[in-house]
Amino acid sequence: MIDCVRPDVLLQANIPTFDELASEGSYTWNAWTVFPSETGYAIPSLLTGSTPEVHNAAGFKYWSDVESIFDVFERAGLSTAMIGEAP
């Protein structure tokens, strides 16, 4: 996931590592964000597949009553990891 970058900027940029990752993974150029269009609301929406009104995660507070992709993977016996800075 890349935050705060418009698709047209990525398409014009010289970014070989990104291009390699995209060629081997999944991506879309036809996505839009939630409202409000802030990282703290958008990331929980991506991880739960629900809107801020449903996941009720204001900013980076954790949600507990909405299933996330991590829950789905765990139920399937798959491991997950998240790498990044703590909010």
Query: pLDDT averaged over consecutive 10-residue blocks of the chain (87 residues)?
Result: 81 90 85 85 87 79 78 93 67
| 13 within a domain of the structure (yes/no) | no
The number of beta carbons lying within 10 Å of the beta carbon of residue 47 is: 19
Give residue 53's pLDDT: 86
First to last CA, the chain: 16
Flag whether 20 is in a domain.
Answer: no
**Token pair of 39, please?**
């990282």
CB 57 within 8 A of CB 44: yes
Cα dihedral: 18, 19, 23, 29 (round 10): 80
**pLDDT computed for residue 14 by the predictor:** 93
pLDDT for the residue 85: 66
Question: 59 lies in a domain?
Answer: yes
Q: Show the domain range for 75.
A: 33-87
Contact by Cβ (8 Å): 86, 68: no
pTM for the full predicted model: 0.68
